[in-house]
Amino acid sequence: MESKTAEKDDEILEYARRVVEKEMDGVGKMAANIGTAFVAAVRCVMECAGRVIVVGVGKSGHVGKKIASSMASTGTPAFFVHGDEALHGDLGAITKDDVVILVSNSGETRELIAELPSLEQIGSRIVSITSNEQSTIARFSDIHLSIGRTGESDHLGLAPSSSSTATLVLGDALALTVSSLRKFTKEQFALFHPGGKLGEKLTGKAV
């Protein structure tokens, strides 16, 4: 009985480690492809006279929320707009002075493609993050950032995992590179993040 339990435990650990290794591999491949387009995206964000608006749906939407949140807390005014809501009026929050980051693994997300004509008329600059540089969204964008085509980490090869992790890391790289270049300080971080243990550490006050 103990032997069977041990074998099952070993299988669980082996599978978990394989998932982690696949996701690390995906991030590594993405990192190796960071180049001139990333530099252009950094400059685009730094030159933005308005705000950065991140748009996505599904798992890309969840990742997009984190990218926008990271930017906002590190000195880049940003917020997230859900792709569905954008089609029902929230495009009105976007101006020609803004930079829009479209997040879509396939680059063919219908909701985001439906927004492209409106974004073109609004006149905002568009940065996209996809795995396919030949996709509709990538080709429409002013700047395209590729996460590369890596297989997902689940046993079906379907659940967003390696792709969403690579997208999240690329978004962090963009947000934190901009923050560093702007010489964002601890004092500024404390101003935007007064709550929680982190805020207490920075301000000496509990919120």
**What are the structural domains, with CATH classification, of the chain?**
2-203 (3.40.50.10490)
Please tell me the least confidently modeled range out of 27-36, 38-47, 124-133, 197-206. 197-206
Q: Any alpha helices (H) in the chain, and if so which ranges?
A: 2-32, 36-46, 58-73, 83-86, 110-122, 136-140, 162-181, 186-192, 196-203
136 falls in which pLDDT band (50, 70, 90)? very high
Q: Using one digit for the tens of pLDDT, what is the confidence trace for 87-98?
A: 999 999 999 999
Q: What percent of the chain has pLDDT over 70?
A: 96
Q: Using one digit for the tens of pLDDT, what is the confidence trace for 150-165?
A: 889 999 999 999 999 9
Dihedral over alpha carbons 58, 55, 144, 42 (to 10 degrees): -130
Instruction: Give the model's pLDDT for residue 5.
Output: 61
Average pLDDT over residues 111-130: 98
Q: Which residues pair with 101 in a beta bridge?
A: 54, 127
Q: Is 4 exposed, middle or buried (0-12, 13-18, 19+ CB in 10 A)?
A: exposed
| Whole-number Å distance between alpha carbons of 136 and 106 | 9
Tokens of 183: 């010489």
Q: Using one digit for the tens of pLDDT, what is the confidence trace for 15-67?
A: 999 999 999 999 999 999 999 999 999 999 999 999 999 999 999 999 999 99
Under a CB-based contact definition with an 8 Å cutoff, are residues 146 and 120 in contact?
Answer: no
Ramachandran area for residue 95 (φ above 0: left; ψ -120 to 50: alpha; else beta): beta
Average pLDDT over residues 3-10: 71
Under a CB-based contact definition with an 8 Å cutoff, are residues 46 and 181 in contact?
Answer: yes
Q: Is 7 exposed, middle or buried (0-12, 13-18, 19+ CB in 10 A)?
A: exposed
Closest CA to 76 of 94, 97, 52: 52
Instruction: Give the model's pLDDT for residue 7.
Output: 67
Mean of all residue pLDDT scores within the chain: 93
- Whether the per-residue pLDDT at 4 is higher than 90: the answer is no
Instruction: Give the model's pLDDT for residue 151.
Output: 87
* Residues contacting residue 176 through CB under 8 Å, at least 6 positions apart: 70, 74
Reported pTM: 0.92
- Whether the per-residue pLDDT at 3 is higher than 70: the answer is no
- Whether the per-residue pLDDT at 2 is higher than 60: the answer is no
Average pLDDT over residues 133-153: 95
Dihedral over alpha carbons 20, 22, 23, 25 (to 10 degrees): 120
Average pLDDT over residues 121-132: 98
